[in-house]
């Protein structure tokens, strides 16, 4: 597949409006494709190409060779795309770091209510069961460490913990 390298040369006597209109009609889409490949965003690519056409229109009288207007446009699109990419890099570099996801206030309130319900339920347990559960699940002690702390056997720790968990489950199910 062979692409057209150039179109018919633009007549030098054309004014900027006519020349830019003709170039726009013939080369807008290929220039947008070029810019899209560079900036990876179609909307930004269209802006880049539009800016290049506006700049060329303003500089039409300063063009040394109006027949090279397409080359000027391509170079302007590439330069503006580079500028967009540099701007993105600076913005990303200085963008504030996103805060880690934090639980919502409702989540914290629900946790507080659940904790309060567990504490109320713990207060209803007999002393030995409450001690065994608190040392096991809040103190994260092993059965041997709990037995030493409470001055009882490991079997008694298992028994108090098991009965306490059953009682807690019962109390908590009644409240919810």
pLDDT tens figures, 90-130: 999 998 887 777 777 888 888 888 888 888 899 999 999 99
Q: How confident is the model at residue 155, as a pLDDT?
A: 95
Phi, psi of 114 (to 5 degrees): -65, -45
Q: How confident is the model at residue 42, as a pLDDT?
A: 95
Answer yes or no: is pLDDT of 2 > 70. no
Burial profile 145-159: b = 16 or more Cβ within 10 angstroms, e = fewer: ebbeebebeeebbee
Q: How confident is the model at residue 7, as a pLDDT?
A: 52
Average pLDDT of span 145-156: 94
Q: How confident is the model at residue 13, as a pLDDT?
A: 57
Burial profile 79-102: b = 16 or more Cβ within 10 angstroms, e = fewer: ebbeebeeeeeeeeeeeeeeeeee
Q: How confident is the model at residue 4, as a pLDDT?
A: 47
DSSP state for residue 98 in the 8-state scheme: P
How far apart, in Å, are the Cα atoms of 56 and each of 17, 32, 51, 69, 92? 10, 16, 9, 8, 30
Residue 171 pLDDT grade (very low, low, confident, very high; cuts 50, 70, 90): confident
Range with lowest mean pLDDT among 66-70, 81-85, 147-151: 66-70
Q: How confident is the model at residue 176, as a pLDDT?
A: 65
């Amino acid at each position: 597949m062979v692409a057209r390298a150039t179109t018919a040369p633009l007549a030098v006597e054309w004014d900027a409006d006519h020349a830019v209109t003709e170039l726009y009609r013939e080369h807008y889409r290929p220039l947008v494709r070029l810019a899209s490949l560079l900036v990876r965003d179609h909307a930004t690519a269209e802006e880049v190409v539009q800016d290049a056409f506006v700049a060329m229109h303003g500089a039409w009288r300063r063009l040394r060779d109006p027949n090279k207007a397409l080359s000027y446009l391509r170079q302007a699109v590439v330069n503006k795309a580079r500028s967009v990419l540099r701007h993105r890099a600076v913005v990303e570099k200085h963008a504030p770091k996103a805060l880690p996801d934090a639980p919502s206030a409702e989540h914290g309130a629900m946790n507080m209510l659940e904790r309060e319900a567990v504490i109320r339920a713990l207060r209803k347990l007999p002393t030995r069961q409450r001690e065994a559960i608190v040392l096991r699940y809040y103190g994260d002690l092993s059965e041997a460490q709990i037995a030493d702390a409470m001055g009882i056997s490991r079997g008694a720790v298992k028994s108090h913990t098991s009965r306490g968990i059953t009682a807690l489950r019962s109390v908590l199910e009644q409240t919810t």
